[in-house]
Amino acid sequence: MSAAATATIFRKEIALGPRSPLLLWAVVFPVVFTFLIRGVFGSLFDPNPRFGLVDNGDSEIVAAAQQLEGIDVLLLDDGDELKRQVERHDLDAGLILQPGFDEAVRNGSRPPLEIHFSGESLANNRAILAVATVDMVREVAGSPAPVMVAVEDVGDTTALPIADRLAPLIILMALLLGGTFMPAASLVQEKERGTLLAMVTTPAQMTDAMVAKALFGIVAASLAGGVALALNGGFGGQPWAMVSALLVAVVMASEFGLILGGIAKDMTTMFAIWKSAGILVFAPAVFFLFPGLPQWIARLFPSYYFLGPIFDITASGKGLDEVGGTLLIGVGVCVLLLLPVVAIGRRVEGTLADA
């Protein structure tokens, strides 16, 4: 391997790479898809706050609640049924009014106000419903805050809105478009045009070409992945943890690209292979999108070992000390992937030598 030859090929990749529509799409895609999810789909999946009421007396709060704008109110007869609907996230919150509640409020005895919030409800919906409840009680009392509000979360408190669960898919696709397709397409196009054969007849070796294309894949993946992470708030308060996860991601993505480009004889074959084998890379994103699935299955796929840490850092604010073990496994996967990369490189070199 020659450092000078590798640098020459890498400079060529950098010069020609921006002309490829794949690189443009790799950068534009996360921008378009993020705005699509956060804008259009976010509004579809975030309906009006849903508020359940059980009135065990004859409270004026029921009539006041039904007059609220932008809040869907459901009247129920049973407190247990209300709790079940809140726990299932059929309701964002539920209020149970005890007999004589209004009279107790007016007398200044500060009766307990039993309100339940779903663990899957959005923070802004909780705030809206809490403020609305207190305001309605104040109207009944005619004086400021005569009650003590006890808030209880029920259901899965770790659930995330659909837009946040789609973020790993956006990031993964950006990384693969930049880090996998760019080196794969470059390698295949050189084989189709015969320029790869001409290259290896010079002092440059196949290893130089593979390393240069891998480096270009790392640069492209870093650019696309960085854009996707920035748009989805990925760096947050743990930038070093995210940079570490991104480094593992871009290296692994470029190795996928070298394997794909080395196996495929032309662009048609490359896309056919990707269609059939791509599930091995994209599978972990499905488990983040649907958290009810058995999460251990995601660990069977290599891309989990960078996508999992990225998700944990983005969604839960975990630090490098918490995701470091998973990232170390990802580093191990990158090392193991060198074996098929080297084997495929030698096979391509042998095929060119026989041509």
Under a CB-based contact definition with an 8 Å cutoff, are residues 174 and 228 in contact? yes
Query: What pLDDT does residue 145 have?
Result: 47
- CATH number for the domain spanning 90: value is 3.40.1710.10
Q: Greater confidence, 290 or 27? A: 290
Query: What pLDDT does residue 38 have?
Result: 61
What are the angstrom distances between the C-alpha of 312 and each of 86, 131, 164, 206, 304?
26, 31, 11, 38, 11
Give the model's confidence band at 157: pLDDT under 50 very low, under 70 low, under 90 confident, else very high. very low
Q: Are residues 144 and 33 in the same domain?
A: no
Cross-strand bridge partners of residue 152: 116
| Mean per-residue pLDDT, 305-320 | 83
Q: Are residues 17 and 107 in the same domain?
A: no
In the chain, the DSSP E strands lie at 50-55, 72-76, 93-97, 112-118, 148-154
pLDDT higher than threshold 90 for residue 329: yes
User: Per-residue pLDDT tens for 126-150?
Assistant: 878 888 888 888 887 775 544 454 5
Angle at 169 between CA 164 and CA 174, to 5 degrees: 120
| Mean per-residue pLDDT, 322-339 | 94
Q: Are residues 223 and 299 in the same domain?
A: yes
| Mean per-residue pLDDT, 322-326 | 91
Q: Are residues 34 and 52 in the same domain?
A: no
Q: Are residues 233 and 309 in the same domain?
A: yes
Range of the domain at 9: 3-40+161-354
| Mean per-residue pLDDT, 20-48 | 64
Query: What pLDDT does residue 338 have?
Result: 92
Alpha-carbon span 284 to 305, nearest angstrom: 9
For 38, which DSSP code? I
Query: What pLDDT does residue 160 have?
Result: 56
Q: Are residues 174 and 261 in the same domain?
A: yes
Q: Are residues 89 and 27 in the same domain?
A: no
| Mean per-residue pLDDT, 36-50 | 62
Alpha-carbon span 42 to 315, nearest angstrom: 17
What are the angstrom distances between the C-alpha of 24 and each of 5, 27, 181, 249?
27, 5, 12, 20
Under a CB-based contact definition with an 8 Å cutoff, are residues 66 and 110 in contact? no
pLDDT higher than threshold 90 for residue 330: yes
Q: Are residues 166 and 27 in the same domain?
A: yes
Share of the chain above pLDDT 90, in %: 13
Cross-strand bridge partners of residue 93: 51, 117
Query: What pLDDT does residue 336 have?
Result: 96
What crossing angle do the helices spanning 279-289 and 267-277 adopt, rounded to 10°?
Answer: 40
Q: Are residues 107 and 205 in the same domain?
A: no
User: Per-residue pLDDT tens for 163-195?
Assistant: 666 777 777 788 887 888 888 888 888 888 877
Domain count, the chain: 2
Last residue of a domain, one of 135, 154, 173: 154
- Tell me the pLDDT of the chain averaged across its residues: 79
Q: Are residues 54 and 16 in the same domain?
A: no
Last residue of a domain, one of 154, 184, 214: 154
| Mean per-residue pLDDT, 18-40 | 68
Q: Are residues 58 and 137 in the same domain?
A: yes
pLDDT higher than threshold 70 for residue 152: no
Give the model's confidence band at 301: pLDDT under 50 very low, under 70 low, under 90 confident, else very high. very high
Query: What pLDDT does residue 33 have?
Result: 72
Rg (CA), the chain: 28
Q: What type of residue sits at position 234?
A: G
Query: What pLDDT does residue 11 have?
Result: 80
Query: What pLDDT does residue 251 have?
Result: 93
User: Per-residue pLDDT tens for 69-98?
Assistant: 888 899 998 889 999 999 888 898 999 988
Give the model's confidence band at 44: pLDDT under 50 very low, under 70 low, under 90 confident, else very high. very low
pLDDT higher than threshold 60 for residue 254: yes
Query: What pLDDT does residue 352 have?
Result: 66
Helices (H), 93-180: 101-106, 123-141, 162-176
Query: For 172, phi and psi rounded to 5 degrees?
Result: -65, -45
Query: For 118, phi and psi rounded to 5 degrees?
Result: -70, 140
Alpha-carbon span 21 to 29, nearest angstrom: 11
Last residue of a domain, one of 95, 129, 154: 154
User: Per-residue pLDDT tens for 259-276?
Assistant: 998 888 888 888 888 888
Give the model's confidence band at 118: pLDDT under 50 very low, under 70 low, under 90 confident, else very high. confident
Q: Are residues 150 and 234 in the same domain?
A: no
| Mean per-residue pLDDT, 210-223 | 86
